[in-house]
């Protein structure tokens, strides 16, 4: 299937891991942003929601930067063809990713209702657009786009908006929304917690239906192309199984549900990558024009240097983020916000009160009604 070696396989796998990290972490950021006006009913509740992601959202986006940089360095032909052929969707993604932090920063700069409402909608839109368009992009990578002999995408934006890709976008949109809702059940208290549970009970089943539909379509398409192997079938079935399990776990233990939902996201991405292998971008024009691990990769020297750098710095990035989550792991609620403006203020107030920033015990969590 191509003349490629262990380094190409290693970096294809590592890029998958980086995208899984991005979708797992940034996924609940997107979800919280999309649900800001659904779960948060007043200014204080919306401040609670913003503070759940305030200390971590920018660190979560590091995974996108590293993932994109890894694609550029390890598979420059893949990066060049993808980013030129998917220019408009990626432009809208970048625009939305710029809008999100601006909305987060500007929301609290003025108390006028119109000002806050405008930036709340900016955050909702800035979260929903990339959550949807990333799914569209990855679906097209697997399904195939028109690529000529010069490795140029010859199709238009409308070629990317095919039914399979739109289902892929809907799937990632619902995955992120459900991920955010379940995340909020771990980070909030009181009425905000109760409302997060209700929203999660709706979004988790919807997400499961989308995952089962998208994975099934992916596997059926591969079967029709005569390329369905045992590995993508096994990973796809596992993704569907965990997606169906999440709504059940959400009624029992939020932590288990969050872990299972994160695993669902990982398995959906793994299904796409395993099904794509050994290609990195499929040509719908002619299979001879497919971008593969062999014809899209950098030289062995570049890949070797990258491997050494990744082995040194990737654990540092993971450790840094783990420390951040540990420090800001407590739940937040209405009573935490008076003169508090930032998560750092909240952390400092806890330390002054002697409560400790690491207190994860939820105060006044309403009892879960019996089924």
The string of pLDDT tens digits covering residues 225-245 is 767 778 889 999 999 999 999
Lowest-confidence region among 11-25, 46-60, 95-109, 351-365:
351-365
Closest CA to 336 of 45, 31, 37: 45
Structure tokens at 325: 């989550």
DSSP class of residue 339 equals S
Q: What is the largest distance, in Å, between two alpha-carbon atoms of the chain?
A: 67
State the pLDDT confidence band at 27, using cuts at 50, 70 and 90: very high
Q: Please tell me the distance from the alpha carbon of residue 284 to that of residue 51, in angstroms, as a whole number.
A: 45
Q: Please tell me the distance from the alpha carbon of residue 91 to that of residue 83, in angstroms, as a whole number.
A: 9
Task: Give the start-to-end residue ranges of the domains of the chain.
Answer: 6-353
CB within 8 Å of 18: residues ≥ 6 apart: 63, 66, 67, 70
Q: According to the model, what pLDDT value does residue 226 have?
A: 65
DSSP class of residue 214 equals H
Closest CA to 147 of 136, 160, 138: 160
pTM of the model: 0.86
Structure tokens at 33: 């942003």
Could you tell me which residues are beta bridge partners of residue 244?
Answer: none
The whole-chain average pLDDT of the chain stands at 86
Kindly report, residue by residue over 241-287, the tens digit of the pLDDT.
999 999 999 888 899 999 999 999 999 999 999 999 999 999 888 88
Q: According to the model, what pLDDT value does residue 365 have?
A: 44
């Amino acid at each position: 299937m191509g003349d490629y070696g262990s380094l190409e396989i290693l970096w294809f796998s590592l890029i998958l891991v980086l995208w899984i990290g991005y979708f797992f972490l940034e996924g609940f950021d997107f979800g919280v942003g999309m649900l800001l006006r659904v779960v948060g009913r007043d200014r204080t509740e919306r401040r609670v929601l913003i503070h759940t992601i305030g200390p971590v959202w920018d660190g979560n986006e590091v995974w996108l930067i590293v993932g994109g940089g890894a694609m550029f360095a390890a598979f420059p032909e893949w990066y060049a063809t993808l980013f030129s052929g998917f220019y408009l969707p990626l432009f809208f993604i970048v625009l939305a990713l710029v809008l999100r932090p601006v909305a987060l920063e500007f929301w609290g700069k003025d108390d006028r209702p119109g000002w806050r409402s405008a930036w709340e909608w900016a955050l909702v839109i800035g979260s929903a657009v990339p959550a949807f368009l990333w799914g569209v992009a990855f679906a097209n990578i697997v399904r195939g786009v028109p690529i000529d002999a010069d490795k140029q995408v010859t199709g238009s934006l409308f070629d990317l908006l095919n039914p399979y890709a739109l289902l892929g976008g809907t799937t990632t949109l619902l995955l992120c929304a459900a991920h955010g809702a379940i995340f909020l059940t771990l980070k909030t208290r009181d009425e905000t917690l109760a409302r997060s549970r209700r929203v999660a009970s709706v979004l988790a089943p919807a997400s499961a239906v989308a995952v089962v539909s998208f994975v099934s379509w992916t596997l059926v398409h591969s079967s029709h192309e005569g390329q369905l192997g045992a590995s993508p079938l096994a990973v796809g079935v596992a993704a569907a199984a965990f997606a169906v399990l999440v709504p059940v776990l959400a009624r029992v233990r939020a932590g288990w549900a969050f872990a299972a939902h994160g695993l669902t996201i990982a398995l959906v991405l793994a299904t796409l990558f395993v099904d794509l292998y050994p290609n990195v971008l499929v040509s719908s024009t002619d299979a001879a024009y497919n971008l593969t691990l062999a014809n899209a990769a950098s030289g062995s020297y570049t890949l070797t240097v990258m491997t050494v750098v990744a082995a040194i710095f990737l654990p540092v990035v993971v450790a840094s983020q783990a420390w951040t989550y540990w420090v800001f792991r407590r739940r937040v609620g209405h009573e935490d916000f008076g003169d508090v403006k930032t998560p750092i203020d909240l952390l400092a107030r806890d330390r002054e009160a002697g409560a400790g920033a690491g207190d994860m015990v939820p105060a006044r969590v309403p009892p879960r009604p019996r089924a």
